[in-house]
A and B are shown apart, each in its own frame.
Chain A
Amino acid sequence: MSEAQGFHQQDYQRPELVCPAGTPAALRAAVDAGADAVYCGLQNETNARNFPGLNFTVPEVEQSIAYAHARNAKLLLAVNTFPPAGKFAMWRDAIDGAAKLGVDAAIVADMGVADYAARNYPELRLHLSVQAGASSPEAIRFYCEQFGVKRVVLPRMLTVAEIAELHRQIPCEIEAFIFGNIGMMAEGRCSLSSYVTGASTNMDGVCSPAADVHYEEDAARNLTTRLGEYVIDCFSGGESAGYPTICKGRYLCGVQSDPYYAFEEPVSLNLSALLPDLMRAGVTALKIEGRQRSRAYVKSVVGAFRKAVDDIMAGREAAFASLLALTEGRRETEGAFPSKRWR
């Protein structure tokens, strides 16, 4: 963004680029592509991307911390799901491990987990996950005061203007999503998947478990996506597809004659054009979604945003490589960030 357009280098501090990793190879790709911090999860229900074959063992976290720290990058551990009654031990073990291994921060959502971490490991830096759904100054201040939370990851439902206002009212850093999957606008409170599969992101770390997803493609290349016993979308031959989640499904409803996206459309968030605005609004960290994606995705997206942030900080116009090929449904949106009327 040029100075002629009203943005000046001194208007903002250099933001931290927070990048996803589902495997150690992806973590190394993120660090090598210029991530300031990489977030990852353990191979269990304690994180919101509990997918088969994904995530880190404890030794892998340890090795990855060494790799990241040797290159001046941080490792953040997502412990950001909600323990069901009687299963708290798994979350406690995750926090114990995070503290013992020396992660740079634990990303938590549940108040019990936050409380356990704050009481037992006061030196462990806590970030409040987007899954906590804290979007008001009152809610965020509560987490800061009670558990010493140092950063809040904001739900993707606030405008940039609201983020700027929030920044003036809270005592912690702000992390905002800038790219990737965008789902229901009540993050941490969506249980749609539970009604069909019995599992949800909140408590099981997985929305639409792969075991419940079935794809059928006919000779004309029409693709039917089923979740459990329900058809949640049909894509005609050549039509771009999306993730098999209920919130992105197309349904026959009484108000429309054809199936339509009743909740959300398959589309990815891309705030490339809003980066200077976010930085001026007081956002400390820019977050890229996609721990479930490949190292090819990580390398491309992190590299693109690394260059853009560096360009902005240097007072240059940020030239963006197109990331459209990596977006869900091959479509991108700025969501609620410019205004609440994004559909």
Chain B
Amino acid sequence: MLAPPPAGRPASPLKKLLENAPSVLLAPVPLALLQPMFTRIATHVAQARPELFNRLGPHAGKRFLIDPTDLPFVLVLTPLPDRPLLTAHRRHERPAHVAAIAGTFFNLLDMIDGSLDGDALFFSRDLQVSGDTEAVVALRNALDDFEGSALDSVVASFGPLSGPAGLALSVVRSVRGR
């Protein structure tokens, strides 16, 4: 997939339901329950590809706000090589950060996963960037040097849960892509 579906194209009811599903399902979930998953994602990426931090250079310790605009929370990524942090916050908390990247959950996911181009998302206004642009560019380039699918790698790290999680994600993505 090269770019998100063009605005204005009517979405199928199933597709719309699936696109809204993360937001609806996650709204009542306490963030404390999700936090271990985010910690695991950060730790796994750091362990799988420690050289990614070299690409970040002086931006490795900075706080990046990742804002999936269709989810009921935001994430703060602090890519420290020894102790990377990915923490979830309610939007109203306005966590401190030096740079922010905003887009829909699936656009951000597909960009990080190497199947969507960040510049194209920016050109189409589906990706918003603010704050320290240099840090954002460094982070984008570092993440883009991940071999294969970062998402598959993270999902596989969840042990017995990886099978159902991967299946659910692939179904959602395939329906979304229609």
Interface residues of A, Cβ cutoff 8 Å to B: 22-26, 28, 51-54, 57, 209-211, 213-217, 221, 223, 235, 237-243, 266, 292-297, 300, 323, 325-330
On whether A53 and B114 interact (CB within 8 A), knowing A25-B146, A296-B2, the answer reads: no
Interface SS of B by simple majority = helix
> CA of A211 to CA of B99 in the docked complex: distance in angstroms?
12
A241–B123 CA distance with the chains assembled, in angstroms: 4
CB distance from A27 to the nearest CB of B (A): 10
Given contacts A52-B57, A295-B114, A325-B2, contact A240 B144 (CB under 8 A): no
Q: Is B133 on the interface with A (CB-CB < 8 A)?
A: yes
Q: Which stretch of B18-26, B89-97, B134-142 is in the interface?
A: B134-142
Cβ-based interface call for B116 (8 A): yes
A336 to B151, CA, bound (A): 42
Beyond A217-B130, A294-B118, whether A23 also contacts B2 by CB under 8 A is: no
Which has the most chain B C-beta neighbours within 10 Å: A52, A217, A297? Answer: A52
Add 13 more A-B contacts to A300-B2, A326-B120 (CB < 8 A): A22-B141, A52-B135, A210-B137, A217-B130, A237-B125, A241-B123, A242-B123, A292-B119, A294-B119, A296-B111, A325-B120, A326-B119, A329-B123
CA distance A57 to B2 in the complex (A): 29
**B137 A24 Cβ-Cβ under 8 A:** no
Contact of B137 among A28, A52, A235 (CB under 8 A): A52
Q: Which residues of B contact A326 (CB under 8 A)?
A: 2-3, 117, 119-120
Segment 83-133 of B: residues with Cβ below 8 Å from A: 111, 114-120, 122-125, 128-130, 133
A293 and B117 in contact (CB under 8 A), knowing A213-B133, A215-B133, A216-B130? yes
Q: Which of A23, A215, A325 interacts with B145 by CB under 8 Å? A: A23
